Structure 1
Amino acid sequence: MAAPMQHMAAVCAEAERCMREALERGEPPGAEEVRRVTELFRQAEYREVADERIFHLILQILSRALQELRPPVTASAPSGGSWWDLSAECFRCLRNACAQCPTNQNTIRNVGLIEKATTLLQGSSTSNSSEESSLVAFRCGLQFLGNVAAGSQASQNSIWKHAFPHLFLNCLAHEDDKVAAYGSMVLYTCLDEDKMADLLDPANLNVALGVITAYRKRSDAEWLHLIVTERFFRCPELVNKMYTSQSHADRLTLLELILSKISEKSLFTEVEMTSMRQIAEFISDCFQKECRAVLKLAAPEDSEEEDSLVVIRLLDLLCEMTSDADHLTCLQCCPGLLETVVDTLRLTHLAGKQSKNVFTSTHSMSLGSDLTHAAVGFKAHLIRLIANLCYKNKENQDKIYQLDGIPLILDNCSIDDNNPFLNQWAIYAIRNLTEHNEKNQELIAGMQHQGLADTSLLESMGLHVEERDGRLLLKSVKKK
């Protein structure tokens, strides 16, 4: 250990001498001396014997850089690029020094380098983004913050104090992919449960909204995905506020992220499960309030209004949630949800009969050939949701009876090119509606005698009616 310590001391002393001489001459010091220390810090044995003097020297350099780069002086000034280059090298040096080294993390924080770095990065983020030297400094500075925050609650709190919300907002809105990625990494690392209250403040909600907007533009951004799925989803109140304040485009992105979380089928902790149930109830409320917007898709111009697309995604999400036992029970009890789904099915079915549109049943493929249309499958998903909500739930089975929903489902069980698997979901719905429910069984059986549904329709669903002891019974068709 003596050899690395002596070598480190010698390198630091030489760097300090050269830089002080340059500063005394009023010139930006060269980055070469700092680069020598940066290279040494790549090795753990040198990080462990780091001389605190080097961190004080870097603090002096960054302080001077702040003065030199303060407006009206910009990165395009003769010495601006040199100061940004030197700042970038200082950030690299600090980044390496912090790697898996709590001692250096603490020293760097205690000498005030986190505050100085975040202040300088604010200037870098607002400088001319086409200036490569300032952009490189910005990237390196964010990497330093990521390393100094790793595993250090005290450093995370310090970064949050000096960087939130402005630096994070700048990173999320930045056009450079690396800046957005590194900034998201720092945000994810610092954002613990105690800091969620800061995001709920209306003055700071733009940070949470900025995460969704940034993810919409960069859907492969892993850190942004983790911020939403592992941080935001633990706070249903934040999800509610975000959705209420978002554009339709960002709402679609948020709903896609919720859908991806539900579709993971991974084991949720009790906290996550409680939060996701509350989010499920919120999704139910949103669907009930917004569902009629989907009727815009029946317009002659066949436009895909964004608010209509949101309704479609809300329905997809409810279908997926009710396919999971952990969410099914709470949604089966949501006031008004089942009634709204039946009402929406009735309205879209009527809209399809009144004029030729995407809700019209077709076998010609004239409409169904466009399987990319957002409304394709919408009625099938409504019936799927009805089936799920009635699964082993006598109260909801009886509600469908009271809402006269069974004839409506039977009237929607023919083959429809605009609704793939409509017939299968109708069969599943009838199965769930009639399970241990004699009233619904008798209703369907009686419909054949009343002429409301012919035998071929029931048989296409795998069912047939037989009379026994004066009663009509609905039974499955036995396969030969």
Structure 2
Amino acid sequence: MAAPRPPPTQLSGVMVPTPIQDLEALRVFTELFKEPRNRETAPRTIFQRVLDILKKSSRAVELACRDPSQVEHLASSLQLVTECFRCLRNACIECSVNQNSIRNLDTISVAVDLILLFRELRVEQESLLTAFRCGLQFLGNIASRNEDSQAAVWMHAFPELFISCLNHPDKKIVAYSSMILFTSLNPGRIKELEENLNIAINVIEAHQKQPESEWPLLIITDHFLKSPELVQAMYAKLSNQERVTLLDLVVAKLVGDEPLTADDLSAFLRHAELMAGSFVDQCGTVLKLTSEQHPEDAEVLATVRLLDVLCEMTANTELLGYLQVFPGLLERVIDLLRLIHVAGKDTINIFSTCDCIKEGDVSSVAEGFKSHLIRLIGNLCYKNKDNQDKVNELDGIPLILDSCRIDDNNPFLTQWVVYAIRNLTEDNAQNQDVIAKMEDQGLADTSLLKKMGFEVEKRGGKLILKSSSDGPSRE
């Protein structure tokens, strides 16, 4: 390691006699450790000396926590603490040797204890925030790609540090503590989060407040969503707005560029059970929107997001089969479609077609809801005769056909009706016959059927429904 320029009193590597010289020496090493070659040749005695300075300075912080009158004397100690953390942070960058040396000195324990003291200080000083942030950066760097250090950080930091930091008003502190949590988590530690759900919920809140921050997002997508047990336990405790945030990320994972891995699919089969069960139980809440003074509350929005999730899940071949046989799902979707369809016809409300309500009355909450219900029915009936027959038994075919109207509140509604009818009639003569008879009796609009790519033909006194375009698909 290149020798630093000596401060006023010569550095021995072991003793620096005054706080000012301590600070100057620390700054020299902080700068030197920006270079990989200096990190790789650093003697262990440097880290021992930094730890000694950190311990001495932390005593001043501890005193200020016990005696608020001492806070005004913290400035020099906070400077030293900050520079200690910066020095250690830089020394750990992509250097496992230094990570191990610093960890073996029990520096992690001292750092965590000091950071927890910061939350007890009732002061608003930028110098305190800077020390706080640098301490968290150090813990993140010492744990990076080092399983032994990750274990040590977890042992000392969980759960108190995360409870203290993930809901901190300072965005950087939230981001850095999220980085530490992301770096330290593994399947075994996820189990511990099930017993400390507030930490998991705080991560959801952090993403909700700071969607631009990558660490809370990565914790959710790369760790939480791989654990159906954690998601199920957490979902029951989340507020409706927090559920919306989580469900949005589930949709993003499903429609992302990267296909689901085998491990992802195993977890998402369990997620599908949770989402389908929740929708069956809660979907009636959307009927609140039929009232004149409908509340656009988070409970309704969470139900809408559940439908979005189910649409995307049933567009996945591996998840579709499970949801096609989920008890009560198809029946509940048809019931709900009928209820909102009738409600939209009987009175002017959010489920009425757009030409029946005045501009400005349209709710973004319900936009596309009917379209997605019909899309989900189409998916659930894809190459599944039992479900095709069930829709017929529940008089769902006339309901779907009657929904085929231009409606600005439901983009692509006609296309989804076409899609659903194709999947309902594929290799199903009975359902084809139902539609053919509706057309013959004037119950189905002939021009509408033609626009949808169907036509009815009489053959030997029998009505045949023919498709004039491509066969069915799943979307």
Whole-angstrom distance in 2 between the partners of 1:170 and 1:404 = 56
Alignment-mate amino acid for residue 175 of structure 1: P
Look up the equivalent residue of 2:281 and give its one-letter code.
K
Contact 1:75 1:134 in 2 (8 A): no
Q: Give the counterpart letter for 2:135 in structure 1.
A: G
- Pair 1:69 & 2:61 matched: yes
Deviation of 1:222 after TM superposition, in Å, equals 0.7
Return the match for 2:186 from 186, 192, 208. Answer: 192
Q: TM-score under structure 2 normalisation?
A: 0.93
- Equivalent position of 1:39 in the other structure: 31
Q: 1:193 to 1:13 in 2, by over 3 A?
A: farther
Percent identity over paired residues = 46
The CA deviation string for residues 287-338 of structure 1, in whole angstroms up to 9 with x for no partner, is 1111000000111013212111111111111112212223222221212111
Deviation at 1:30, TM superposition (A): 4.7
Partner of 2:464: helix, strand, or coil? Answer: strand
Q: Who is 2:340 aligned against?
A: 348
State how 1:369-388 maps to structure 2 within 5 Å.
373-388=364-379
Q: 1:133: which partner in 2?
A: 127
Counterpart in 1 of 2:427?
A: 436
1:223 maps onto 2:215 in alignment: yes
Residues 404, 413 of structure 2: 8 Å contact kept: yes
Query: Could you tell me whether the CA contact under 8 Å between 1:383 and 1:429 is conserved in 2?
Result: yes
Within 5 A, what are the aligned runs for 1:203-242? 204-242=196-234
The normalised TM-score by structure 1 is 0.92
The question of whether the paired residues in 2 share the 8 Å contact of 1:441 and 1:474 is answered with yes
| Partner-residue secondary structure (3-state), 1:50 | coil
Give 2:245's match in structure 1, choosing from 247, 250, 253. 253
* Aligned residue type for 2:383: K
Shift of 1:91: 0.4
Verify the 8 A CA contact 1:8 1:46 in the aligned structure 2: no
Shift of 1:405: 0.7
Instruction: Give the conservation status (yes or no) of the 8 Å contact 2:14–2:46.
Output: no
Give the whole-Å Cα distance in 2 for the aligned partners of 1:38 and 1:324. 51
Please tell me whether the aligned partners of residues 125 and 170 of structure 1 are also in contact (alpha carbons under 8 angstroms).
Answer: yes
Aligned-residue Cα RMSD (Å) equals 2.2
Deviates further, 142-151 or 354-363: 354-363
What amino acid maps onto 2:319 in structure 1? H
In the TM superposition, residue 464 of structure 1 has moved relative to its aligned partner by 2.3
Q: Which residue of 2 aligns with 1:312?
A: 304
Kindly indicate whether the alpha-carbon contact (under 8 Å) linking 2:349 and 2:357 is maintained by their aligned counterparts in 1.
no
CA contact (8 A) 1:362 1:416 kept: yes
Moved over 3 A (4+): 8-13, 15-19, 27-30, 73-76, 369-372, 476-479
Instruction: Measure the CA separation in 2 of the matches of 1:132 and 1:15.
Output: 32
**Count of aligned pairs:** 467
Tell me if 1:283 matches 2:280: no
Letter in 2 for 1:93: C
Of the candidates 14, 17, 23, which is equivalent to residue 11 of structure 2? Answer: 14
Pair 1:357 & 2:322 matched = no
**Which of 386, 407, 415 is residue 416 of structure 1 equivalent to?**
407
Structure-2 separation of matches of 1:327 and 1:98 = 43
Q: CA deviation at 1:129?
A: 6.0
In structure 2, the partner of 1:165 is: 159
Does 2:74 align with 1:96?
Answer: no
Partner of 2:389: 398
Higher mean C-alpha displacement, 84-93 vs 7-16: 7-16
In 2, Cα distance between equivalents of 1:13 and 1:31: 14
Deviations 1:439-478 (A, max 9, x none): 1001111122334324234334332222111211112358
Equivalent AA in structure 2 for residue 121 of structure 1: I
**Counterpart Cα distance in 2 of 1:237 and 1:13:** 59
> Are 1:113 and 2:113 matched, yes or no?
no
Give 1:9 deviation, angstroms. 11
Counterparts of 1:30 and 1:442, CA distance in 2:
90
Which residue type is aligned with residue 386 of structure 2?
E
2:450 matched to which residue of 1? 459
